[in-house]
Structure 1
Amino acid sequence: MQTVPLKDLVARVDLGLKVLGGADALDRPIRWAHVSELEDPTPYLVGEELLLTAGVRFPSDVPAYVAGLVASGVSAIGFGVEPEFPEVPSSLVQACEAQGMPLLEVPPSTPFLAVSQALGALLAEIAVREQRMLADSQRALTRAATRVRPVESVLTTLAVVLNCQADLVDRTSAPSGLASLVARIASATGPRSASTQLGEDHVTLDPVESAVLVVRRSTPLSPAERAVVAVALALLGLLRRDLASERGQIARLAASALLRSRVTGVRNVLGPGPYRVVAGQSRADYDVLAQRYGPLVSKDGDGFLALVPAGFEVSGPVGVSSEVPEGEVGTAVEEAAALLPRALATGSPAFPASDLTSLVDPVAARAFARRELAGLLGRPELIETLRAWLGQHGSWDRAATVLGVHRNSVRHRIAHVERLLGRDLSAADARASLWLALTWLD
């Protein structure tokens, strides 16, 4: 679940909260606000609460009361002054200072409900920001996967969006201190993922085919950021498989006359640009392009490459590059050649991907989806519940609203989904894999 730094709640001027102790611990996460007037509320606490109390049953042993809250994982105490106490008891201030517990004074003008509502609003803002970040990151990673060096581009983009260091390594290139862990994860019998501390860095390791993605940064990844990593893992897995099969074909096409020598008179034939490169294998497509653009069409074995105006309308199974100026034709050749296998599989032009689905062969994608969701096929209510729950980032309440059912029904159905699929949906890679499967199911 989402959390809010205590300092964000304190910063709400409308609440009028006053910090009486623990000012150096305002980065503590708050998951929810809980009101309790019990002398010992610890049996009803789960951790990371802002415990709100007016001291109606003020404890006789204040240090023991605070110690119990510390042991239960409470993040902070909010004490409401009046009507029971005109000010926060000094014994509570002293006990919180001694035990490092942040203590807030809640003024009479601020009902506890207002604090709870403010916390809910902050949590909702974070959820919206993370959803936007996840969507923006997915688009950025997808665009990176269509560039000339897609694996390197995806790693660079991941590093930028998460402000981290991202490397794809194997047993021979593992960073110092991670060699044994990389070897275990890269092996078929090792763990599926791992996290560790390396110096001052938090490190996560995830397998990608026979390699391992290593993500390092000074702060741990949030659940939404782990979902971004999961998208990168899916892309890197696809790219490593696709590039291995396409490498020979791309190398052959890249050695064509279009790259070996400069094309003269491009502006005279095509105008000032920008241009696109078209890669194909059909003799009919080649004949049409050769007749129209003659010297700007190069045939090599079964394949051909053509330099065409950006607005040229293509048809048939050809790979079409992004628009490029004259000086970047070489880059466009590799992009068009990389898109050709998808065009041949679908029988229609393949353009640079605008989303994740367009990177994948549709037949393979549907087969993957049916394998991943095999246990749910024929259970549309479970599929729709899973779709709504994942779409709401695992929020029981928001998923329940989308489905029009009680939140406990969502919990029951998701637990049933986990049993039928044999998957732990608390893992980011499982959620990402099932989200892709749901996307490609139809």
Structure 2
Amino acid sequence: MQTVPLSDLVARVDLGLTVLCGAGALDRPVRWAHVSELEDPTPYLVGEELLLTAGVRFPSDVPAYVAGLVSSGVSAIGFGVEPEYPTVPATLVEACEAQGMPLLEVPPSTPFLAVSQALGAVLAEIAVREQRMLADSQRALTRAATRVRPVESVLTTLAVVLNCRADLVDATHAPEDVSSLVARVASGTGPRSASAQVGEDHVTLDPVESAVLVVRRPAPLSPAERAVVAVALALLGLLRRDLESERGQIARLAASALLRAEVSGVEAVLGAGPYRVVAGQSRADYDVLAQRYGPLVSKGEGGFLALVAAGLGVSGPVGVSSPVDGSGIEGAAAEASALLPRALATGEPALPASDLSSLVDPVAARAFARRELAGLLGRPELIDTLRAWLGQHGSWDRAATVLGVHRNSVRHRISHVERLLGRDLGTADARTSLWLALTWLD
């Protein structure tokens, strides 16, 4: 059931409640207001009540009375002054102070019914607000799932709507502080999840196919927020299955492109090798290549792959593999797909081992990339934002268009990148180093 922080009731001017003690515990949740004049009401309590009493049958052993309420999980006591007592009994104030129980004075002008009605109204407001938040979040997550990079878009949207950090990781690339939890959730079977307090963050973990969704933030998730996570889990599960299926389809396409047709037939279309694989997502690029090369172009939900002549001039945001012969098509498809994020960030073709990259040892380049981007590893939404922003020469508007988010979101993420990396992205040195790192990280 929904609860209300005690502070929300205290803040209601119309109730006129006065905090006599326990001001430091006003964040306690209140589920309902319960009126009782029994000397021992504990058999009728379930916890998280605001217990209202006017002291009609005030107990003789006040410390024991308060101790019973504490053990029953009562969140606070509201004492109504008059007609029984002109002021709140000092013994009750002392006992509540000693046992950490918040005590509120209810003025004669406020009937207990008014307190109950106010609590009900606040609960109703919260319910409506959470239903609206859930509906808005569902729409936002569904829209995110239709974007160019759906998995990353869903994670970014989830992080925004819940004001949290959301990562999709596997057991071998999990953050160190939750690696054991990730391994446990990933290795289980059937419905499973975990939650824990890790440092200052409350962390929840849920499986998504072979990966684990890790959500962390300072405050625990409410039931409505858990429902938002459930929507994200369902979408991520579908997207992961589609992507895994599509990757397999793309790899099979690339590996067997020359096997499905006679080599002479491919040569009739493309000429004698070498060949390249082009990876893209633009419908216009796909239409041009499909019209020209027909069966050597394959389209899926996440984009397309095309087998083309090595000398073909290409334009637009596409990844282009190195030249290969018929035996290297599968590797060329993987290479073109890996280059596609860079192409999408710049709006221009991305080719491998060009310029400075061709002069650098690949092992050293990857080590440099991981060192430069260490603070962002495991944060794909920040890596994608940095790539798009640098690829668009620091333009907030153009980067926002590439990512499909608001320009203020780009600003917020880039400032977060600067904090995590400890770099000033306004300098040419930082931008150059990070662009090379992003290039070599691929």
- The structural deviation recorded for 1:42 is 0.5
SS, match of residue 177 in structure 2 = coil
Conserved 8 A contact 1:278-1:319: no
Q: Is 1:139 the equivalent of 2:132?
A: no
SS, match of residue 178 in structure 1 = helix
> Structure 1: which 5+ runs fail to align?
263-275, 281-288, 306-317, 322-327, 332-442
- Cα distance in 1 for residues equivalent to 2:177 and 2:302: 44
- Cα distance in 1 for residues equivalent to 2:279 and 2:180: 48
- The structural deviation recorded for 1:180 is 2.5
Which residue of 2 is the match for residue 416 of structure 1? none
- The structural deviation recorded for 1:183 is 1.7
TM-score, structure 1 as length reference? 0.59
Q: Residues 183-222 of structure 1: matches in 2 within 5 Å?
A: 183-189=183-189, 192-222=192-222
Q: Residues 42-441 of structure 1: matches in 2 within 5 Å?
A: 42-189=42-189, 192-247=192-247, 277=283, 299-301=293-295, 330=317
- The structural deviation recorded for 1:261 is 12
Q: In the superposition, relative to structure 1, how do residues 228 and 295 fare at CA in structure 2: closer, same or farther (>3 Å)?
A: closer
- The structural deviation recorded for 1:178 is 2.3
- Cα distance in 1 for residues equivalent to 2:289 and 2:206: 48
Deviations 1:92-129 (A, max 9, x none): 11111111111111111111001000000000000011
Deviations 1:239-261 (A, max 9, x none): 000111223666879xx9xx969
Larger radius of gyration: 2
Whichever residue aligns with residue 27 of structure 1, its letter is: D
- Structure 1, 244-253 or 127-136: larger mean CA deviation: 244-253
- The structural deviation recorded for 1:297 is 5.2
Conserved 8 A contact 2:290-2:297: no
Whichever residue aligns with residue 168 of structure 1, its letter is: L
- Cα distance in 2 for residues equivalent to 1:228 and 1:260: 37
Q: How many residues align?
A: 288
TM-score, structure 2 as length reference? 0.59
Whichever residue aligns with residue 197 of structure 2, its letter is: Q
Conserved 8 A contact 2:148-2:302: no
Q: In the superposition, relative to structure 1, how do residues 329 and 132 fare at CA in structure 2: closer, same or farther (>3 Å)?
A: farther
Q: In the superposition, relative to structure 1, how do residues 298 and 126 fare at CA in structure 2: closer, same or farther (>3 Å)?
A: farther
Deviations 1:250-300 (A, max 9, x none): 6879xx9xx9699xxxxxxxxxxxxx83799xxxxxxxx8xxxx8995544
Q: In the superposition, relative to structure 1, how do residues 115 and 329 fare at CA in structure 2: closer, same or farther (>3 Å)?
A: farther
Conserved 8 A contact 1:279-1:319: no
> Structure 2: which 5+ runs fail to align?
255-269, 271-276, 304-314, 319-442
Q: Residues 17-36 of structure 1: matches in 2 within 5 Å?
A: 17-36=17-36
- The structural deviation recorded for 1:171 is 1.3
- The structural deviation recorded for 1:66 is 0.6
- Cα distance in 1 for residues equivalent to 2:219 and 2:294: 51
- The structural deviation recorded for 1:156 is 1.1
Whichever residue aligns with residue 41 of structure 1, its letter is: P
TM-align CA RMSD: 3.3
- Cα distance in 2 for residues equivalent to 1:10 and 1:229: 32
- Cα distance in 1 for residues equivalent to 2:235 and 2:243: 12
- Cα distance in 1 for residues equivalent to 2:142 and 2:250: 20
- The structural deviation recorded for 1:169 is 1.1
Identity %: 79
Which residue of 2 is the match for residue 10 of structure 1? 10
- The structural deviation recorded for 1:177 is 3.2
